[in-house]
Amino acid sequence: MIMKSGDNYLDDIVSDNAGGKANKLRVQKSTSARLVTLLTCLQFAFAVYATFLLYYMSPSLDLKAKPDFSWATRIASQWKHLIVQPHVVSRYQQTLKQTTVCENENIDFVQKRSNDEVMIKLKRQLYEEVLSYQTKSFGSETLTELMAMKSKWDFKGSNIPKVTVILNHFRRRTLCAQLHSLLHQTLPFHHVWVLSFGSPKEALLKRIVESYNDSRISFISSSYDFKYYGRFQMALQTEADLVYILDDDMIPGTKMIQILSHVAGTEKYKNSVLGSIGRILPFRQKDYSFPSYRKFRSKEGGLYLPDPAYNITVNKIVQVDFLSSSWFLSADLINTLFTETPFTFMTGEDLHLSYQLQKYRNAGSFVLPVNPKDKETWGDSEHRLAYVAETTVVSKDIVQVRDDQWWKALSAGYITQWAAMYPQRSDALFYAHSVEEAKALAPLLKKFRSTIGKKAYIAISGGNFCPCEDAASALSWPKEVCKERRFKIFDLGIEAISGVSNSEVPVVQAVYASMKGLIKIHNPSVVIAVSDTDLNVLKALKMATETNANSALILLPRPSVSKVTWIADLRATALPKWNCMRISINIITQNRAHSLTRLLESLSNAYYLGDEIPISFNMDNKVDEATLKLVQSFKWSHGPKILRRRIIQGGLIRAVSESWYPSSDDDFGLLLEDDIEVSPYYYLWIKYTLLTYHYDPQVSLPELSSISLYTPRLIEVVKERPKWNGTEYFKHKHPNTPYLHQLPCSWGAVFFPKQWREFYVYMNMRFTEDAKKNPVQIPKSRTNGWQASWKKFLIDMMYLRGYVSLYPNFPNQTSFSTNHMEPGAHINAKDNALSHNKSDYEVPLLQEDFIHYLPNGKLPPASMLPSLNLFNQAVSLGGLKVAGAKLRQDVLGCNITEIVIVDHETGLPSHCSRF
């Protein structure tokens, strides 16, 4: 019997007309009941299945832990396997997709090794010199030592740094290798940004990133090629703590992020940029020029570190001039790259970053050491990639651009490893903010550079402020000096940072940062600029000079520059003392308004070199109305004006001796009576002689106690007062040579602070109303009988202790001050029986540069100065002491081989000492 299918069977029943109606109904009832029963059973079975399925498919369920339902477990396991399988297939598909889209960089050559023994020796020798210097100067640690240092990042809890990794790709086939390494780092990254700027492979790069299906990895593209700076611009947007920027030829070991983060968290290297490849820029050659950084067979060409070609491995952290291929730094340092407009956007971002970080953040660039046995500690695990074409150093034009760039950086204060290892010494560093300033400084710069043994350079603002070629023309130099890689003119490119900003900050920042670096490199004794330069430039120059204790800032008024070419003749040890001295003008006056007017006019017309010079008027009780009005109305632009008036008439002794008292050992007093007139060059003479004979550490002339502006025509301490002509006296052995004289000058002289304190105490111990009671009796001296003279006491002290004053000696007794011999306390006084011939006292005033009169155009060494005793007789300095000691009339009872020694802080006599 052949059974029909269910559907046919029901159809047959419905269509069968063989039986009656009742029979037909029975058949329909029976069929419906069976169908309902079947459907109900199926529904129940599905419910049971669904319950088991939901229970056993739970992710937290351990299927093996349910022995009571082994049959159900087996069923559920089979179903779960069928449902989970699509996920496994998805992973497989993702891996398959990566395999499909990923590319590998095929390197068909072994690591290049040099067999040039000369080059190997040169490079390794230079590397050892650099490492030795750095180890001695600030320490250089191995990788083990670095990892043992305490770090801000301890990689526990909240001290795990967030690191954003930035990859920049154009044509290379290394993206998958980089991502694979980054995904297996011992310290996971926070984000990876894959950049594609104008890349012809943008679509493929995007598919590679998408194939990883990792939300931490982002793809950022642009049809515009932002070149090498774009990745750093993107880095400004990171919210991470640290940034790791990698070239497409860098495949870091899996430990690199952790190593870099640890070192970046140390106190020593927290303000640094770290990397795996770096370069040390060229060293100066024997001809004082700098070669190309790509110069072959040259030790001076610098270093590339590490350099497998010469078997140079970095086993200690080493500071370099700039990093290449990878940069790891704190996120807050990134914006420093854009402080100045880059020299070019076509190349050189590596140098520009290190240059800006050092210049504005005092941040160094360091190549980390590696463990040669553990490639996972290498930041450049496949160095052969760097030898593949398309690097920035293949093109000759690119090499020239990069050479220009690093030289411009060095000229603007970039302290390279060479500069750090070989600090220079120079005498002067000039600064000109405009072409006009360069032209104004030209005479003095020329004198420096033409003086044997002197080194002087000039820094200019550059750009539109002071174009280099225009400045060179103003200095009468060929324009080629702007392109030579040798020290002469430094173009700071100030406009690169200041632009068109009206703010003072950019100019101050740029000038300060550049000059600070140049001063540190060249260690000039003085920095020289014109005093009327831009105020912001002045601020910057002052701050920059203060960073070097051995440098002084000289700000010269433009009219004075050509008058002080003698600065170039000062020794380098004396130049930094330029601003130490403080010279005050102290005028003694009473009732000669006409004479005082003449003196004040001459003082106002003199050259003061921008120094601050206080002026004081010391008036006795009987000062007249005209004089009072004159001193009240007088305008003095070189410093404070001080007025003093006695209540009780004191006389000339008190008027002069109390007119000034030094406030420090650098405070010098110029004493002038009102009938004196000075030369326009008087202050220059004072400054020049003080720097030459007093402030130069290499000069020992403790006997010098004052500087005279006046040249005497008489021997005033002899009764007959014979005439005397110093020019004639010294013309054979010492023509026009200044000389040392035991006689102090009262007609215009600068007195030294130590000896003036000493004089104060001495006069206090010796002063009596009756001059005849004074115990000092100098043989054959008229001064023994002087009664109303402060100068007598000073003469006595200088004679007893062997002190001298420096006098000018120019033709015809031409001097820096003259005495007009007008009636006063001594001249034409009723109790003065001596007659005074005006021609014996008035001398011509110097109206031109005194340098032309000096022997060889400069002051002679102190040892070459002739010396005279009180009576204008040639006697050595030692002979002067012998004569004073023989009198045995000083305030202490010394024997004939001793003189009185005083405490120069108080002026009090201390003890006797052999001389």
Please state, in angstroms and rounded to a whole number, the distance separating the CA atoms of residues 241 and 331. Answer: 6
Residue 32 has what pLDDT? 54
Q: How many CB atoms lie within 10 A of CB 126?
A: 20
Rg (C-alpha) for the chain, rounded Å, is: 46
Total residue count of the chain as it appears in this document? 915
Q: Residue 684 and residue 606: Cα distance in Å, rounded?
A: 9
- Closest residue by Cα to residue 462 from 500, 495, 485, 507: 495
Contact 659, 667 (CB under 8 A): no
> Measuring CA to CA, which residue among 253, 275, 258 is closest to residue 329?
275
Query: What is the DSSP pairing of strand 326-330 with strand 242-246?
Result: antiparallel
For strands 364-367 and 272-275, give the pairing: parallel
Q: SS3 for 111? A: coil
Distance CA 672, CA 603 (A): 11
Measured at the alpha carbon of residue 367, what is the angle toward residues 362 and 372, in degrees to the nearest 5?
160
Q: Provide DSSP, 750-800.
A: EE-HHHHHHHHHHHHHH--SSGGG-----TT-GGGG--S-HHHHHHHHHHH
Location of structure tokens 């002197």: 454
- CA 700 to chain CA centroid, Å, is 34
- For residues 276 and 256, give the distance between their C-alpha atoms in angstroms, rounded to a whole number: 10
Instruction: Tell me the per-residue pLDDT of 456-509, one tens digit each, with 9 for 90 and over.
Output: 999 999 988 999 999 999 999 999 999 999 999 999 998 777 555 567 788 899
Q: What are the strands of the beta sheet with 322-324, ordered from one edge? A: 303-305, 277-280, 322-324
The first and second tokens of residue 20, run together, are: 């009656």
Which candidate, 258, 266, 243, places its Cα nearest to that of 139?
266
Determine the pLDDT at residue 20. 43
- Residues of the chain short of pLDDT 70, as ranges, are 1-97, 109, 386-394, 498-502, 769-772, 824-836
